[in-house]
């Protein structure tokens, strides 16, 4: 099959939005290319069958893909006892087909994808509260608790199938100079903001973030500063990331404490000093 050329563009201040030029051609092919990663880390471009779909699923052609550090950490050992998988879970693309329960008008829509997908069977899923699913699956990592589910391929492939709830229309951000797949980690941050508000009842003065110098924290910290958090304790392992984070937050209007995750004493002291109403 003919596939569009791989177009890798580093995202930075000069990023200019690149919109897909190619039409979706029907019928869709029976096979697709996918980067299959084997236990041990070997990654091979292979031809594999198109993803299966459940009745509530959509089939998405990934067009903008980010490489998440949490995937990178799993490239050698994979997840659980998997022998191989297709990674890639931060992406945006367009819907090219829908399952029988999904509105056909979605075909052609540009969507950003939430990689956790619902089991459809737990008490939350039965109420339609899919984002609270207790047995969710994760693209490329593990299947959901639904016995009809399977290990789904991630976005390092020509097509991905996932529940339609996980595909959120981008509403035009792809036309701005904004890399749409980055909407996914930002979405996680907004969700974390909601969880913090639910747990604390209000915006806390102090926030301790484990993994506080990772990629996700680059979104979370400025977001929580904008919500009014005054003190941040960023717990991390790995000096380069901590130094990088320090340089990123230096102009933000908040106080930052960096703690290596092994420095339990320092963390306990900070907890005593700061965390009377903090979220821990
Ligand atoms: Zn991720
Ligand atoms: Zn569920």
Give residue 174 CA to ligand 2 midpoint distance, Å: 30
Closest listed ligand to the CA of 65: 1
Give residue 37 CA to ligand 1 midpoint distance, Å: 17
Give residue 148 CA to ligand 2 midpoint distance, Å: 13
Poorest-confidence range of 49-58, 152-161, 237-246? Answer: 237-246
Please, which residues have CB less than 5 A from ligand 2, an ion?
118-119, 122, 125, 133
Closest listed ligand to the CA of 117: 2
Give residue 74 CA to ligand 1 midpoint distance, Å: 11
Give residue 189 CA to ligand 1 midpoint distance, Å: 12
Q: Where are the domains of the chain?
A: 31-182, 202-277
Give residue 66 CA to ligand 1 midpoint distance, Å: 8
Please tell us whether the domain made up of 202-277 is placed in CATH 3.20.190.10: no
Closest listed ligand to the CA of 133: 2
How far is Cα 30 from Cα 1, in angstroms, rounded to an integer?
Answer: 9
**What's residue 10's pLDDT?**
65
Give residue 64 CA to ligand 2 midpoint distance, Å: 28
pLDDT band at 12 (very low <50, low <70, confident <90, very high): low
Residue range 83-102: mean pLDDT, rounded: 97
Closest listed ligand to the CA of 87: 1
Give residue 82 CA to ligand 2 midpoint distance, Å: 22
Give residue 150 CA to ligand 2 midpoint distance, Å: 15
pLDDT band at 87 (very low <50, low <70, confident <90, very high): very high
Alpha helices in the chain (DSSP H): 69-72, 123-126, 183-200, 215-227, 239-249, 264-274
- Residue whose token pair is 């959120």: 168
List, in order, residues 6 or more apart from 236 with CB less than 8 Å away: 211, 212, 213, 214, 242, 245, 258, 259, 260, 261
Mean pLDDT of the chain: 89
pLDDT band at 77 (very low <50, low <70, confident <90, very high): very high
What kind of architecture, by CATH, is found in domain 31-182?
Alpha-Beta Complex (3.90)
> Tell me: the pLDDT tens digits for 15-45?
788 888 899 999 999 999 999 999 999 999 9
pLDDT of 13 higher than 80: no
Query: Among 204, 224, 209, 225, which Cα is nearest to 277's?
Result: 204
Give residue 147 CA to ligand 2 midpoint distance, Å: 12
Interface confidence (ipTM) of the complex:
0.97
pLDDT band at 189 (very low <50, low <70, confident <90, very high): confident
Distance, CA of 47 to chain centre: 25
How far is Cα 253 from Cα 262, in angstroms, rounded to an integer?
Answer: 27
> Tell me: the pLDDT tens digits for 132-175?
899 999 999 999 999 999 999 999 999 999 999 999 999 888 88
Contact 141, 85 (CB under 8 A): yes
269: left (phi over 0), alpha (psi -120 to 50) or beta: alpha
Looking at mean pLDDT, say which of 4-8, 17-21, 138-142, 237-241 comes out highest. 138-142
């Amino acid at each position: 099959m003919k596939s569009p050329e791989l177009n890798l563009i580093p995202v930075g201040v000069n990023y200019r939005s690149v919109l897909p030029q190619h039409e979706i051609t029907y019928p869709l092919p029976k096979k697709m290319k996918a980067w299959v990663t084997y236990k041990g880390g070997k990654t091979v471009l292979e031809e594999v069958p198109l993803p299966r779909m459940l009745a509530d699923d959509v089939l998405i052609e990934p067009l903008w893909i980010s490489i998440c550090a949490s995937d990178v950490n799993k490239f050698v050992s994979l997840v659980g006892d998997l022998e191989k998988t297709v990674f890639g879970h931060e992406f945006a693309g367009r819907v090219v087909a829908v399952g029988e329960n999904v509105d056909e008008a979605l075909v052609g829509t540009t969507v950003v994808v939430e990689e956790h997908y619902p089991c459809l069977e737990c008490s939350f899923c039965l109420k339609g509260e899919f984002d609270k699913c207790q047995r969710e699956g994760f693209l490329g990592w593990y299947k959901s608790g639904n016995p009809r589910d399977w290990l789904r391929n991630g976005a390092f492939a020509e097509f991905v199938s996932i529940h339609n709830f996980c595909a959120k229309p981008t509403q035009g951000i792809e036309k701005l100079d904004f890399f749409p797949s980055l909407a996914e980690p930002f979405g996680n941050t907004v969700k974390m903001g909601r969880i913090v508000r639910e747990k604390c009842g209000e915006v806390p003065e102090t926030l301790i973030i484990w993994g506080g110098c990772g990629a996700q924290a680059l979104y979370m910290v400025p977001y929580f500063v904008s919500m009014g958090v005054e003190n941040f304790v960023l717990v991390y392992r790995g000096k380069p990331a901590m130094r990088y984070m320090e340089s990123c937050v230096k102009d933000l209007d908040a106080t930052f404490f960096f703690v290596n995750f092994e420095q339990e004493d320092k963390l306990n002291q900070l907890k005593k000093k700061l965390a009377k109403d903090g979220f821990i």
